[in-house]
Amino acid sequence: MNKIKLLSAIVALTSTAAVAYYLGQHHTPPATTTVASKTPKVLYWYDPMVPNQHFDKPGKSPFMDMDLEPMYDEMPDAPGGVSVAPQTIQSMGVRTALVSLGQFNQQLTAVASITPDEHNVQVVQTRATGWVDKLYVRALNDSVKSGQLLLSLYAPDLVAAQEEYLLALRSANDSLTVAAANKLALLGFSPTQITQLKNSQHASRLVNYYAPSAGVVTEINVKQGAQVSQGMSLFTLTNLSSVWLIAEIPEAQSALLHIGDKAKIAVPSYPDQFYQGQVDYIYPKLNDTARTLQVRIKLANPHGLLKPGMYANVIFNERNASASLQVPSEAVISTGQRNVVIVADGGGKFHPAEVKLGREANGQYEILHGLAEGDTIVISGQFMIDSESNLKTAIDRLTVGSKQ
């Protein structure tokens, strides 16, 4: 039987919530309240399921199998407040907490992906038309060392440039020799290759191309025996000794991040290992579809464990965390037009307080205005109390209007 009573009370309060909010948002509560007497007087008894029906004495409700509730003449001290009977408070499961002043250590989490460090991408090109005589690296994603031979190219223009340089050397004309050496350099010959040509005094039919740095072959545009044209990219090499972590930050939280902010990175592939980094760059354009802002973190990858395409979870720590008033997030009632917290005044009295919210993190809201440290607030059952408060105010206003 007690379960039926409790269920009936909850259904009654819930059923009036929509009307209560509508009336509460369209009618301003009276600016003055009646001072309560020391001994509250019972005005009438009522059934919460049928609140408009009043009875002169206590007893069982004729509508539901439950006791009638008393309505006292005592008014709460705060505008828009309400007094709730102890048994009703218990049936609602009302829980309270204190408004506290503490360090607001906000943590922002984001999903990220690993990409190559674009500063470490190099392209091997030919500056003369020719044919691939020998291709030494043929597969994508092969690792190459710095100085490793990639291909040998036959190019008539390169052979002719070597002959010009040797002729200039034999003529003992310094100006011609310097000009011929500069031409070789412009055609892609390294200082080492020019020195070898000078020492050998013999033009090579084939010109070798070497890897300018260690890395992974991420692009190959030639085949064995294929013709290549001037300016054509032969290989793209990516050094993965460092990588970029690109994190997607929701638009609403993008203003919280700054260059230099610390980050803790967890990669699912290595659950027991964490990486430390900091924001290296904040991209200037928002993703129109996902409504996210990209931020970049540079990570050292000496052992090559971090692979492009891997996903990671990032936790950013806010800089200069400050002390502020905090309440549990569940205590805040958001109506779309205002944010309200129910304050417990003691003795079964409650009143709504409109608050200005700041940041939210770790299940806590920062309170900028509307509450004071040490205030007791309701964190469970506040929706019913707020509905009851709005409904009572609306009924009182209608009653006053009917008497005029």
- Helical segments of 16-78, H only: 17-26
Supply the DSSP symbol for 40: -
**Residue 145 shares a structural domain with residue 85:** no
User: Who's near 170: CB < 8 A, 6+ residues apart?
Assistant: none
- Tell whether 61 is covered by a domain: no
Give the helix/strand (H/E) hosting 351. Answer: strand 349-354
pLDDT at residue 177, rounded to an integer? 94
pLDDT at residue 52, rounded to an integer? 67
- Tell whether 217 is covered by a domain: yes
**Residue 225 shares a structural domain with residue 134:** yes
pLDDT averages per 10-residue partition of the chain, 404 residues: 43 39 39 44 75 81 80 55 68 82 77 95 94 95 94 96 95 93 94 94 94 94 94 94 94 85 92 92 91 94 93 80 82 83 82 85 84 88 58 42 44
Rounded distance between C-alpha atoms, residue 162 and residue 160, angstroms: 5
Q: Count the domains in the chain.
A: 3
pLDDT at residue 314, rounded to an integer? 94
| H and E: helices and strands count for the chain | 7, 27
Of 20, 30, 84, 93, give the one whose Cα is nearest residue 344. Answer: 84
pLDDT at residue 333, rounded to an integer? 85
pLDDT at residue 399, rounded to an integer? 39
Boundary of a domain, candidates 209, 231, 253: 231
**Residue 338 shares a structural domain with residue 361:** yes
Number of alpha carbons in the 13 Å side-chain half-sphere of residue 349: 14
- Tell whether 200 is covered by a domain: yes
Number of alpha carbons in the 13 Å side-chain half-sphere of residue 274: 7
Place of tokens 């000794």: 241
pLDDT at residue 28, rounded to an integer? 39
Length of the chain: 404
Task: Report how far Cα 78 is from the mean position of its chain's Cα atoms.
Answer: 40
Containing domain of residue 163, as a range?
127-231
Backbone CA torsion sign across 361, 364, 367, 373: negative
pLDDT at residue 351, rounded to an integer? 83
**Residue 131 shares a structural domain with residue 112:** no
pLDDT at residue 74, rounded to an integer? 53
Write the CATH number for 80.
2.40.420.20
Rounded distance between C-alpha atoms, residue 118 and residue 186, angstroms: 25
Q: How many CB atoms lie within 10 A of CB 251?
A: 12
pLDDT at residue 223, rounded to an integer? 94
pTM of full prediction above 0.75: no
Rounded distance between C-alpha atoms, residue 207 and residue 188, angstroms: 10
pLDDT at residue 39, rounded to an integer? 60
Instruction: Give 3-state DSSP helix, strand, coil % of the chain, rounded to 5.
Output: 25, 40, 35
Both tokens of 295, joined, read 């931020």
